[in-house]
Amino acid sequence: MVLAKQWVLKNLPIPGEPFNFDFTDPECTFELIEKELCSNQLKDGELLLETHYLSNDPAQKFWISSRDKNYAKGVQPGDIIPARGIGKVLASKNKEYSPGDYVSAKTCWTTHVIVPQSSVKELRKVDKDKVGKLWWYLSVLGGTSLTAYFIFFHYAQLQEREEDYGKVYLISGAAGAVGNICIQLALNVFRASKVIAIAGGPKKVEFVETFGENVVGVDYKDPEFKKKLIQAAGGENTVDYFIDNVGGDILEAGVVLLKQKAMLIACGAISAYNDPSKFMFKSYGYVLTKRLVIKGVLVTDHTDEFPKALERLSVFLTHGQISVLNSATLKDAVGDNFKNVPLIWKGLFNGINIGKLITEVKKDE
């Protein structure tokens, strides 16, 4: 028997309003509860998992609050907060998994969780001995790297061939989980002639520029951001691919730089998650005058292709084309610190991370 700590939804978020993180307030969005779980509760096909690491993703805000059935089913009061993570099988009534197996799974914000048979198909076994740290499966070999992979190989339809080399890329949220992998793929796989990397603050600008001399970092917090962005690109109409993880004003500033028939790849809109008005796209005229191609990215559309993509990412990692160095920021939620799980996730929207923001729930054995 284990005593599971679980963060559940206490109150439905008010549309357009920020979540309430005051745990002493009856109107708080989240509530920490405890629940006894044991192997005797397992039904046929089910697993009992122990969470080791949690992924922090902007998309969770939609998972929690969205009522858009095209994207996600919203969480209801009393439901555990959804999250991806890495866990260890403690008990199993499923022939495909044994105690001691490590898996990538929807662990949710909980120290322990029973995975129903209907969700077992979403699990993926991970080999602890093949990587330096288990959390690599949430960073360089996880969902964010998969997102970056499909941006290039599926949405941009690039291949490792001469005609796809030497392009100019603009990447927003460049110091983040997806952004920094995109920089590395652009430089080291597709031989970009230039990457304009938008990040927040001097520390993050310095970080993105460590990836190579062809990277020019631009601080969106700089009062002269728009002017310096155009200078970094070498003028308007210079960018082949704009990979946008931010939306809002940064999206508007970046569209100006795109060439005729260039591609805008919309991967995220973190600037709008607390301010829905920033979902408005004011530069639609450029879509027409520049004949832009716009593609929206949702990595879960490609689950059948994950094994092949992960094989290629592993090769890139082995060859040094992507790196684990500074690929993640780990935050401690071990033991009593599990009470900080929502606050760690909140930090994602305040830019506390370089690379992937990962919550450590249990120390590696």
| Single-letter amino acid code for the residue at 294 | I
More confident residue, 256 or 62: 256
| Single-letter amino acid code for the residue at 246 | V
pLDDT tens track for 238-265: 999 999 999 999 999 999 999 999 999 9
CATH topology of domain 2-139+327-360: Quinone Oxidoreductase; Chain A, domain 1 (3.90.180)
Sole residue written with tokens 């499966």: 137
pTM reported for the whole predicted model: 0.89
pLDDT tens track for 115-154: 999 888 889 999 988 888 999 999 999 999 999 999 999 9
Quick check: helix, strand or coil at residue 358? Answer: strand
Category of 326 on φ-ψ map: left (φ > 0), alpha (ψ -120 to 50) or beta: left
Q: Whole-angstrom Cα distance, residue 287 to residue 296?
A: 14
Local confidence band at 326 (pLDDT 50, 70, 90 cut-offs): confident
| 319: CB partners within 8 A, 6+ apart | none
Residue 158 above 90 pLDDT?
yes
CATH topology of domain 143-300: Rossmann fold (3.40.50)
Q: Where are the domains of the chain?
A: 2-139+327-360, 143-300
Q: Whole-angstrom Cα distance, residue 355 to residue 353?
A: 6
What is the b/e burial string over 237-251, where b = at least 16 CB atoms within 10 angstroms of the residue's CB? ebbbbbbbbbbbebb
| Single-letter amino acid code for the residue at 83 | A
